[in-house]
Amino acid sequence: MKKLLLLITFKLLLLASLIAQENFQAGYIIKNSGEKITGEIDNEYWRRNPETITFKNGSGETQTYGVNDIKEFQVDGNIYKSASVQIETSSQKISTLDNSQEPKFEDKKVFLETIIQGTKSLYSYRGEQERDYYFIYRDGKYEALVYKKFNMGDINNVQIGYNKQFVLQLRTYLGDCPDVIDDISIMDQPSIWKLKKLFAKYYSCTSSSPEFQKVNKETNLEWGVDAGITFTSIQFNGDGGKLTGSNFSSSVAPTFGIFLNIGLDGNRKKWAINNALLFTSFSTEGNYINNLRDGFYNEYDMQLEASYLKLQNLIRYSLLTEDNKDLYLLLGISNGFLVNIKNTSTEYRHVYDEVTTSEVNTMDSYRSYEQGLVIGAGYNIKYIHLNLKFERSNGLSDATSISSPINRIYTTVGYSF
């Protein structure tokens, strides 16, 4: 079963590398001539502002457009504008700060994302350096809000200074509303939440409304319940006497719990964090004979039963998503907390034909917290989730001379609300 699961996972990974998933949604482009064309745009839910987009017209023909080809495009309620801007390129890392407060600009043509558009407008850009830049539109130009960290000391004595030119820029740009001046003055650096709050206050103050305002999508949260069965096997290795000398039986037991999926933005929303809290258990038996000498030997009938609360934290990657169907892979870690254990063995002491019995512990000591790795795959149709996961944990033994890896296979059905 374990080999089959690994084979399935490998084939799904191979499939993921071969599939270029598309996600065309209704939108439009505006060409440099001013012509507006409606159609569909491959929405990749960009974490960084895109350099090119794929557009499909009404005839089903696709074409790629870059920043020099179109003035604007819109998809999923988001508007991007082609713009020639200045990008501040100074390092933000403390160890490599320069000693000048003057910004270092690089001219670049990009797609700016529209945050607010109206009499006062705000735009944003994120590039390869994962740094956020903000722009206002004034006198027919996109103007970068300037913020720069610099070193006022030397290489051995770093003293951080800040060029907060953006404060003066915003004071003059929004100055016809006195209510926002104090808010601008105390801003330590530009951030999307502070700027949106500032512009909202400005429009309220001037009793006007923006032509467009980006709507924040709700965090993609999905929770539900899970139930199924587990196939568990445990093996003891090392110097453990009756433990390592016995082959313990496999166990089949029910499992159930709850899960929470947290969707992540970017990369076509293929990535999510899957958190599951599950109750699992196993029951296994083993037999061991210790031959002492002729006529003298000890026999052990061993039993181990354990139940856990398992917290699994997994990365989920969607291979195919369409029409409320999703094929995905899972990879992550598990943390198991021992709830209950039955740790007994019956010892039979044979002295020729005489047998005496006694109850002893199967294990002298055990750990109450185990850790493991999890891989798996799943498929869901609307609210129904089917999961197949393989987990390998460090098991029960806390003795340095004995390892006790536990392999578990979960087959579960879930329902999300």
Q: Give the tens place of pLDDT for each residue, 97-131.
A: 999 999 999 999 999 999 999 999 999 999 888 89
Cα–Cα distance, 412 to 254 (Å, whole number) = 9
* β-bridge mates for residue 131, sequence order: none
Q: What is the DSSP letter of 314?
A: E
Q: Where in the chain is the domain with CATH 2.40.160.20?
A: 221-416
- SS3 of 75, please? strand
Query: Which structure tokens are listed for 20?
Result: 């270029």
Contact in structure between 312 and 274 (CB atoms under 8 Å): yes
Residues 6+ positions from 171 with CB-CB distance below 8 Å: 181, 184, 185
Please give the model's pTM, rounded to 2 decimal places. 0.65
Query: Which structure tokens are listed for 104?
Result: 């270092």
Q: 20-24, 149-153, 236-240, 393-397: which range is least confident on average?
A: 20-24
Average pLDDT over residues 79-86: 97
**For residue 340, pLDDT beyond 90:** yes
| pLDDT at residue 265, as a whole number | 67
Cα–Cα distance, 30 to 70 (Å, whole number) = 6
Average pLDDT over residues 45-61: 93
- SS3 of 95, please? helix
Give the gyration radius of the chain's Cα atoms: 31
The residue with tokens 């390092």 is 91
Contact in structure between 297 and 347 (CB atoms under 8 Å): no
Domain 221-416 sits in CATH at 2.40.160.20
Q: What is the DSSP letter of 178?
A: G
Question: Secondary structure of 4-48 in the HEC alphabet?
Answer: HHHHHHHHHHHHHHHCCCCCEEEEEEEECCCCEEEEEEECCCCCC
Q: Measured between alpha carbons, how far is residue 193 from residues 134, 203, 216 in Å? A: 12, 16, 11
Q: Measured between alpha carbons, how far is residue 411 from residues 26, 32, 176, 239, 388 in Å? A: 38, 55, 63, 34, 5
Cα–Cα distance, 391 to 308 (Å, whole number) = 14
Q: What is the pLDDT of residues 357-379, one digit of tens each?
A: 998 888 888 999 999 999 999 99
